[in-house]
Amino acid sequence: MSPSFTGIHSHAAGAATGTDQDQQCGRVDAPHATECSHADHHLLPQTFMTTPSPSVEGFLTQFHNSRPGLSSKAFGSRPLSLRGQVYASTYDLLASAVTNENESALDLACGDGFLLARLGSHVNQDLALFGLDMSAGELALAALRLGKTASLLVGRAQSLPYRASQFDLVLCHMALMLMHDPAAVRSEVRRTLKSGGKFAGVVGASPPPSPTRSRYLQALSRCARDPQWETVQLGEPRLRTREGLVNFLSEEFSDVVVEDLHLPLRLAPEELWSWLSDMYDLYLLRPQDRDAVKDELLGSISSDCSADGRIEFPLSMRYFHATAK
């Protein structure tokens, strides 16, 4: 993922929790995890990392704690088609991976619980649901949304607080490509999956070129990073290509399938700015520079509008699924 323009929202499982939260939410029999129920969601602290973590995890944690629910807002109602089948959203595409034979599923980097809610209403009503995320703010929303229908944990994808061969299915929506040490994440997913279990996800892909995107990148390039996020690099480059993703997954999975997804986006200029305002890119900048980006962009894109006053701003993603060896 380009550090200058992500063009996506995402969750990523991140930093470990500390002892105060262990006491508040109840310790589980695994390291680096805190369990949160619908009853105690309000006890989740907004700052909970007590050990050093990579700067990317610190940025993502702060972003999602302060602005939870943006991923489902961005993608939860945007339909797409794949192999002639229309899906209400990329979340619904992932939910279609559930079968009647599945007994348990983990949503890795579950955010506000939007995908888990979809799973709860899908084919298998008896599916045991689990969700893990690094963001206490996101999990507070997930607890409100899901009630007692899912077990939610704060924890890191690189050290999953679950036993070996626990899950039939692990899903991950728009997060894998952002995670620190993705090889460790892959190994943990494999460890917690049953033999023959499925790993499926949606990841970001390099977007197609567009005049508006170029103008946005130019505006961003003229602004300085916030000093605290100067070293943040969002995204694992090898996971941004089809070949790289296939090779990455094939190291511990078989029957790897990767398919391109295209989401058409047509927005009025102010709607486009609202969309971009929820992206990571702007929050890597100094706060005083964000308005300058807005002014430059909105002042330069009138020629990009079609007759109805809207702008084409296409998005690209990839859907993958693989089988645990």
Q: List, for residues 140-183, the tens digit of each pLDDT value.
A: 999 999 999 999 999 999 999 999 999 999 999 999 999 999 99
**Cα 27-119-179 angle, rounded to 5 deg:** 60
Dihedral through CA 249, CA 231, CA 216, CA 224, nearest 10?
180
**pLDDT tens per residue, range 108-149:** 999 999 999 999 877 667 899 999 999 999 999 999 999 999
Q: pLDDT at residue 31 above 50?
A: no
What Å distances lie between residue 47 and 17, 144, 228, 296, CA to CA?
9, 19, 16, 34
- pLDDT above 90 as % of the chain: 75
Q: pLDDT at residue 20 above 80?
A: no
- Position 224 scores a pLDDT of 93
- Position 1 scores a pLDDT of 31
Dihedral through CA 110, CA 112, CA 117, CA 120, nearest 10?
40
- Position 19 scores a pLDDT of 29
Predicted TM-score (pTM) of this structure: 0.84
**141-154: b or e for each residue (b if 16 or more CB lie within 10 Å)?**
bbbebbeebbbbbb
Q: pLDDT at residue 8 above 60?
A: no
- Position 54 scores a pLDDT of 55
Lookup: tokens for 231: 């070293």
**pLDDT tens per residue, range 234-255:** 888 899 999 999 999 999 999 9
- Within a 13 Å sphere around the CA of 236, how many CA atoms are in the beta-carbon half? 19
- When pLDDT is cut at 50, 70 and 90, the band that residue 100 belongs to is confident
- Position 124 scores a pLDDT of 65
- Position 12 scores a pLDDT of 36
Give the residue-averaged pLDDT of 266-290: 94
Q: pLDDT at residue 95 above 50?
A: yes
